[in-house]
Structure 1
């Protein structure tokens, strides 16, 4: 899948911060892939992440076994101080869930080293999903223009971006056509 390929190119052998580590299930979570391909990995997710999954998505604890990993810190990325710096921060399908995206981005920047990169993936607000009821935990939608504005306001410059087919492992040809611009991937560096 495109998302995983691009992320892997940028995290391989590096010290990485994974934000939203618990994910909706192991199927959509980047944790295991990152764990196998990074030099060092720290995760952050909300203290109630597993309870929200059980409540909103009917995910049983077996669906997110990696949530017990002792490298995952349960805290809010808008305010946590991890006391460390990272070469790459990955926020895979997270920004659409946060309460305050400005605080979120500002705090991530504090955790990036001098040459650090932030990778964000998020659903595209200008895709067909706007016609449907959103995910029960989403607080906002972004397109490439609102992401660019938000990132610039918080001291980032986009170095790469692209649309990609959604996060499911396999799509039929017809579904691939329909889902072509379903997701956005952005790579940004602090200015």
Structure 2
């Protein structure tokens, strides 16, 4: 484990959120309230969830803002993280709920889902910046993919996203190239 469990979970959730709008097939996987409901339950959020179009629009705006983090250099990320935390009036505190041990929250319990997503990602990004590990926040190396990823491997070897099956496609292409060379 590279970071604390909540940091890693928040980074993965953020990448997954960003990638809902970066599918190679052009389909927006966060196009409906039902899609948002599935994302919410799939990632185990426990915060307020309004189940309406306004919330969906707010989460999609948050998705866009979070996606920009992957395009920034480390110092600029620190500025954006500070802006997100300041705008949300974030105050970190330790909580424990369900089967999840102590971890950080930084929003009031009834904060909008989009705010929770922004703040949790900002808190996780702060850990990455403080650890001087921002190079783990990457864009997929496949030529036809803009999805993002978080490389949490020990040897920093992750190159492809999970969103578009790019790793498998690259391996198949390499296999076929080797086979034609025989």
Structure with greater proportional helix content: 2
Higher relative contact order (CA 8 A, sep 6+): 2
Give TM class, smaller chain.
under 0.3
Find the structure with the greater CA-based Rg.
Answer: 2
Structure with greater proportional strand content: 1
